[in-house]
Structure 1
Amino acid sequence: MRYMYGMRAVLALPFLAFATLALPASGLVGPAQAQAVAAAASDAAVHRLAERLSRLAEDGLDPRWYAVPAADLAAADPARFRAETLRAAQAALTDLLLGRAGPIRGRVDLRRDTAAVPLGAWMAELASASDPATVIDRAADLPPDARALKAELARLRALAAAGGWPRISGNTRGTLEPGTMDAARVPQLRARLASIDPGLVEGPAANNPLYDDRLLAAVRLYQAAEGLEPDGRVGPITWDVLNTPIESRINQLRVALDMRRAQPAQPTERRIEVNIPHFRLHLLEGQRVVQDMAVIVGRRDRQTPMLNVRLTSVTFNPSWGAPERNAREDLLPRFRRDPAAMQAAGYRLFQRIDGEVVQVDATQVDFSNYNRNHFPYFVRQDAGDRNALGRMRFNMPNNDDIFMHDTPDRHLFSRGQRAFSSGCIRLERPMELLSEALSGTAGWDRARADRVLAGRATTGATLARSIPVRLHYTTTIVEGGRVVMRTDIYGLDADYARAMERGTPQRIASAEGGNARGAAAR
C-alpha cells in the first residue's frame, strides 16, 4: 500500500499556465507570479471558488488549513487574490482526493489507493476550468456515501450551532428503571430525547418526574438506533451514549469522510471483515454478504488490535492457556473466592519448580498472599463445555496472539455494546463460520466436525483455502442511505481527527504520472 498525501504549497504542474508559476521562499505568491496565472476563470468564478473553499467544513475539512484569502484582498490586489485562491484550491483538492490524514500507528486497517487517483488530470482541470468551484464540488462528492455523510454532518452542525443537545447530570452510574420517579434525571432525559418525541417536553410533561410509557418508547427507539439493547433500562452505557458531546459525533463524520477518500476497489475474493465498534462479522464474496453475525471484542483496557491476517486452521475442543494478564487480573480473584469451583470448571494451576512444571492443588494455595503484581502460577483450562474458548478456535497467525473462537457466555450476544473480551473475537454462530471455512478441505465436512466435537479430543484441521481476515475500526457506516454511527469505544476516531489537524507531508504532483510523488517540506 502506498500513501500519498495533501499539500498546502502550490503543486509544481508543468502544464498550462502553472508551468511558469514559481513560489518564492516565503510560500506567498507575489504580483509578478500572479500575472503568470492563466485567466481561464473570470473574476466572478475566482470569487465563487474562494467562497466554495470557505465552505470546506461541509466536506469535513477546515478552511483554515488552506489559507483561503479574505474577500477584501480582491479589491486591494486582484492578482494576488487570484493566485492565493488557486493555490488554496490546489491544496484542498489534493486533500479531497487523497485524504487529509496520514498513516497512523497501529491502523493497518486504513486503506488508500492514491496511485489510482489521476491527481495531475484533476489539477489540470482545476487550472483550466471556467468555473473551478465545480471541480471542488465533484471531488468532494467522490468518496462512497459522501452525500449521505455530508447531509448528516450538516444536520449535526446546525444542531450544534443551535446549542447542541443537553448533557444529563446527576447519577449516571446508576440505572434508571421504567416506572420509577426521579425528579433529577427524568426531566433531563425528556429534554434530551425531545427530538424523537417533542411531546415529552410540552406543557406540564416537561417536568414530569415519572419514567412513564411515553418516555419508555422514546428511550427504546433511541437505544435501538444507537445499537444498544432496547430494554428501556437507562444504565451507565446508555447514559454515556446520551452524553456523547455533539462535537464528537461531528468529528466522527469528518473522519468517516476522510477515511473514504482514495478508497481502493473492494476485493473480489472470499474474505472476513470484523467491524470492531459495530461488533459485527461479515463473510463476503465480492460485494455479497454470505454471513452476518454478532461478535464480542476487546474491552477498552484490552483493545482488539487492527489486523490484516489469514484464517489458516481450526482447533476443535481447545484447551486454554490463560495469558499472564488474564491469570493475574481475571482468574486470581476467582481462585481467591472459590478454588474448588475453579478446579471443577477445568482450571488447572501450574508452577515451575526446579526447572520442572508441576501441577498444584488450588485448594491448598493461600491466594491471599498474591495479587496482580505477584502471582507465580500459570493457568490452563481443560477442553470442555465450560472452556473460555468454547468448542472451537479459529486460528489466524499474528504477533498479538489474537484469534476468533466460540464462547460459553452466549448471553452476552444479546447486549448492544459487546466490548467484553481480552482482545480476541468471540463468535455468535461459530458453527456457521466453520462450515464455510472447511469448504473445499478434503476429508472434512459438517458431519465429521460434529463427530470430532462430540468426541471431546483436541483436534486440528488445516484449511485448504486460507481466508483473508480484516479487523477494522469503522464507527460510521451507511445502510440504505441512512447514516449509522456507533460509539468511538477505543478513541481511534478521536486519534484520526487529530491526525487530520496535523495534516501530512506534502507531495508534488507529476504531470507524467498524474500522481503525487516526492515530499516537499512544510
Structure 2
Amino acid sequence: MRDCLNHRAGFDRVLMTVAATFLTVSATSALAQDQARSSAAELAIEAAIPRPEPANVPPPTAADIKLDTTATVPEPAKDSVKAETAPAPTKVESKPADVAATPPATMPAATTPAADAPKADTAAAPATPAAPAAAAATPAEPPKDVAKEPASEPVKAASNVPAADQPVADKIKDALGAKTSRYFDRKSERAAVEKFYGGREFAPVWTQGGSLTASAKGVIARLKDAASEGLNPTDYPVPDFAAATSPDALAEAELKLTASMLDYARQAQSGRMHYSQVSADILYPEHPTDPNDVLAKVTTAKDASAALDGYNPPHKLYKELKAKLAQLRGQGEGPVIEIADGPALKYTPAKGKKQPEVVVEDPRVPQLRTKLGIAENPNDTHYDATVAEAVRKFQDGAEMKATGILDDKTVKALNSPKRDKQIDTVLVNMERWRWLPRDLGTPTLGDAYVILNIPDFTLKVMQRGQQVWTTRVVTGKPGSHATPMLTETMKYITVNPTWNVPPSIVYNEYLPALQQDPTVLQRMGLRLEQNRDGSVHISQPPGEANALGRIRFNFPNKFLVYQHDTPDKHLFARDERAFSHGCMRVQYPDQYASVLLNIALPNEKYTPERVRSMYGTSEVDLKFPTPIPVNITYQTAFVDDGGKLQFRKDIYGRDAAMISLMKGRGKDLENMVARAQPSYARPATTLPSGVAFANNGGSSGPSFFERLFGPPTPPPAPVGRRPQRVFTR
C-alpha cells in the first residue's frame, strides 16, 4: 500500500515536472520570438502534449517544481526513419538547476544539435518524426519568427525585369505616375499605356540593355516611311535613342516612340481629319483603333512594321493610289515620256453622209498613246476617236477645258506629271479611303456591295472582288443639293414607287409655283393634300411619268436620299451629270434590280424582263433577306481597269477643302465637328384660291418618313444639314 502511494506521489511529481517544463519553454518562446526552436526533441514534446489555454493556467512557483529521478523519456529521433523505430525509454537524470535556475534568455539556440540539448524529466511519449518549426506549430498560431523572416516577403517585384533595364523601368514608372499627359493627349491612350507597362513591370519594350529591339527598328522604319501612305512623317516624330544614354533619357524616348506609334495607327485607320471637318453631308461608320489592341498587336508581332502597316486601308483602289503616288513623286519605275511640241491635233467625228470622219496623223501619237495608257494599237500614228477621248478625260481631270484637242497647253500639262496639285489630289483621295469601312461588302453574300463614285458619275456592283455590273448615274447639283457621302445598307427595292415630294421641294419650289398658277400641280399629275395642322403634302402616284421612274432602291439614311429610275433618260448622254436634288438616278434600273436581286435571292432567278413585268400602278416591295451595303464615295483620283491614273473634276469642292485643312495643319482635325439639328418649322404659307386638294383638307395621313421609306420604323431625323440639302429627289 505504501509502495502504491509512493508510486502515485512519484507520478504526480512527473506530471508537475512536465507542466513546469512546458510553461518554461512556452515563456522562453514568447520572449525570444526571433530565435528558432532549440531542438527537434523540444518540438516533438511540444507537439505531443496538448497546450492548455494560457488564461486558465497560473504561473508556476518554486513549490510547484519537485523532481523525480525515476521519470523516463524516449530518446529523440534524429530522422524520420529512426523515429519510427525508436528504442525503449531510457532513464534520464535532471538537476533542479536545469529547469528552475536557468533563465529564458539562456535557453539553447536553434543551432544547438538535438543530441546535445538538455533533457527534462517527463512522461514517456510516442516518438515523432522531426519536422520544421513551421510544420510543428499549430495551424491556428503560426510561429511568429517565421512570419517575420525577410526571405518570406514578396521580393520579386522587379525579378522579371533584367538588371540592366531596371533603372529605365523605374523611370518609366515615375513618368507614367506623374507626367502621362505630357506624352499622351487622349484619356483612352493614357489608360492603355499605364495598363500595358504596368503589366510588364514597367520594363521598356523598345530597348534591352540600352539597345534597340527588333520591334523598335520595325516601328521606326514604318514611321519614317509614313509619306508613302499619304501621311506626314513629321506627325510621328522618332526619338534619338542613340543620344539617350541615361535611364531618364531612355524612359522618355521609350514613351515618345509609343506615342508616335499610337498616333500612326489611329490616323492610318481613321484618317488625319474627321470627315465632319469637311462637310455636313458626310456620314461613315466610325472604326477607331483600340490602343490596347495596338500595343498588344505591334509589340508581340514577329514583324512590327507589317503589324503597324496593317492599320492602313486594305482596299485595292487605295493600294493602287499608293503606287501612283510613288510614281508622281519620282519613285516609280518606267520611262519618263515627254510629248514634243507640234501642231494642234483634232479629231472630227462623222456627221451623216455630208461630213465624214476626219482623222489626222502625227508621229507624236504613239508616245501620246503610251502616256495616256492606251493599250490598243500602241504604234498607230492616227489621232482617232480613242486618242481624242483619252485627251479629253485628261483635260477634264486637270481642270482644263475638255475639248479633246491636243494643243500647246495640253502638251505642257502632259509633260508635268509631278505637279503638286496632282499629288495633293491623290493624297486627299487616299485620306477619304480611310473613312470608309474596312469591309465594304457582306461576307455571307460573297462580299457583295454597291459603290458609287460621285465625280465619275458611275455605279458599280462588286462581288468576290470582281465587278459584276456597272452603269452611269446622275448625281446631285453642286451646292445645296450635293449628293451626300455615306455608307448604308440597301434593304429592299420598290417597283412602281409613289413619289412623296420632299418638304424642301414643296416649300421652296412647288408652293411658290402655285402662287403663279393654282392648277400647275394638277397638270403635272401631282396630288396636293392638306393636313389638319395646316401643313401640305404633295405626292405623285406610280406610273410611267413618275419622277422616280419605275423603280426605287431603298437604303434608309439620315439624308433621305436613294437611287431610282428617271423619265429624263437624255441626261445620261452628258459627260458631267450633276443635275438632281441629291438622289442618284440610275440609267438601267431594271438591270440593276435584277443584279441585286440575284445576289440577295439567288434561287429566284430574276431577269430584267421579269422585273419589267411588274410595272403597273401599285407599289411592290421586294425585300432582301440580307441587306447589301451601299458605299457612296467621292473619288477625284483613281486607277482605272487599265491601270491608268484618272482625275475627275472636284465638282463639290471637297478636294479644295481637305487640302486647305491639311496644309493648315490644325491640331484638332481629328475631332468631330458638332452640327446643329436643322429646323423643320414650316414657313407660313397661304395657298391661293382655286387650288384643288385631293383629300379636302382633312387627312392626317402617314408622316413624310413613312411615305418615303414605309412603316413601321422611319429613319432618324437628319442631322447637320439645312433642310434644302436634306430632302432630295
Q: Normalising to structure 1: TM-score of the pair?
A: 0.58
Q: Give the C-alpha shift of residue 15 in structure 1.
A: 9.6
Runs (5+) with no aligned partner, structure 1: 1-13, 160-176, 180-194, 200-212, 358-375, 506-522
Q: 1:411 to 1:223 in 2, by over 3 A?
A: farther
1:292-318 per-position Cα deviation (integer Å, ceiling 9, x unaligned): 2222222232233324133324131x4
Measured in 2, the distance between the counterparts of 1:71 and 1:457 equals 75
Q: Which residue does the alignment assign to 1:407?
A: 566
Aligned counterpart for 1:310 among listed residues 490, 502, 505: 490
Counterpart of 2:431 in structure 1 is 255
CA contact (8 A) 1:223 1:229 kept: yes
1:67-86 equivalences in 2 (<5 Å): 67-69=237-239, 79=250, 83=254, 86=257
Q: What does residue 388 of structure 1 align with?
A: 547
Higher strand share: 1
**Segment of structure 1 superposing worse, 321-330 or 69-78:** 69-78
Once residues 265 and 329 of structure 1 are traced to their aligned partners in structure 2, the CA distance between those partners, rounded to angstroms, is 36
1:407: how far off?
Answer: 0.5
In structure 1, C-alpha distance between the alignment counterparts of 2:297 and 2:452, rounded to whole Å: 33
Determine the C-alpha separation between the residues in 1 that align with 2:244 and 2:640: 44
* C-alpha distance 293-447 of structure 1, shift in aligned 2 (>3 A): closer
Shift of residue 430, structure 1, vs aligned partner: 0.7
Give the equivalent residue in structure 1 for 2:262.
91
Residues 391-421 of structure 1 deviation map (CA, whole Å, 9 limit, x = unaligned): 2323444444323211011122223332221
Matched residue SS, 1:58: helix
Mapped pair 1:123 → 2:294: no
Q: After alignment, is 68-77 or 137-146 more displaced?
A: 68-77
For the structure 1 residues 100 and 448, does the alpha-carbon distance in structure 2 shift closer, same or farther, using more than 3 Å as the test? closer
Q: Which has the bigger relative contact order, CA under 8 A and spacing at least 6?
A: 1
TM-score, structure 2 as length reference = 0.44
Shift of 1:473: 1.9
1:304-453 equivalent positions in 2, closer than 5 A: 304-305=483-484, 306-316=486-496, 318-331=497-510, 344=523, 346-348=524-526, 350=528, 352=530, 355=532, 379-437=538-596, 440=601, 449-453=611-615
Does 1:298 find its partner at 2:476?
A: yes
- On the 8 A contact 1:311/1:467 being kept in 2, the answer is yes
Residues 69 and 444 of structure 1, relative CA distance in 2, 3 Å threshold = closer
- SS of equivalent residue, structure 2 residue 549: coil
In 1: Cα distance, 2:291 partner to 2:237 partner = 28
Match of 2:457 in 1: 279
Instruction: Give the match for residue 227 of structure 2.
Output: 57
Q: State the alpha-carbon separation in 2 of the partners of residues 421 and 256 from structure 1.
A: 23
Deviation digits for residues 153-189 of structure 1, max 9, x if unmatched?
A: 3444569xxxxxxxxxxxxxxxxx999xxxxxxxxxx
Contact preservation (8 Å) 1:255, 1:493: no
Aligned-residue offset at 1:432:
0.9
Q: Mark the CA change 1:66 to 1:290 in structure 2 (over 3 Å): closer, same or farther.
A: closer
Deviation for aligned residue 1:223: 4.7
Equivalence map 1:226-241=2 (5 Å): 232=404
How far apart are 1:232 and its partner, in Å? Answer: 3.5
Query: 1:228, CA displacement in angstroms?
Result: 11
Note if contact 2:500-2:538 (Cα within 8 Å) is conserved in structure 1: yes
Residue 249 of structure 1 deviates from its aligned partner by 0.7
1:40/1:489 CA distance change after superposition, 3 Å: farther
Alpha-carbon separation, structure 2, partners of 1:259 and 1:379 = 37
Q: 2:620 aligns with which of 457, 460, 463?
A: 460
Asked if the contact 2:565/2:589 (under 8 Å) is kept, the reply is yes
Question: What is the percent sequence identity of the aligned residues?
Answer: 22
Give, in whole Å, the separation in 1 of the partners of 2:519 and 2:296: 72
* Cross-structure match for 2:630: 470
Match of 1:109 among 269, 284, 290: 284
Distance 1:461 1:303, change over 3 A: same
Partners of 1:425 and 1:103 in 2: how far apart? 25
Taking a change above 3 Å as real, the CA distance of residues 330 and 39 of structure 1, as seen in their structure-2 partners, is same
- Distance of aligned partners of 1:338 and 1:293 in 2 relative to their CA distance in 1, 3 Å threshold: farther
Higher mean alpha-carbon deviation, 437-446 vs 145-154, is at 437-446
Equivalent pairs, count: 412
Tell me the SS of whatever aligns to 2:182: coil
Give the Cα–Cα distance (whole angstroms) in 1 for the partners of residues 240 and 291 of structure 2. 34
User: AA paired with 2:499?
Assistant: W
Larger-gyration structure (1/2): 2
Match of 2:32 in 1: none
Return closer, same or farther for 1:347/1:196 CA change in 2, 3 Å cut-off.
farther
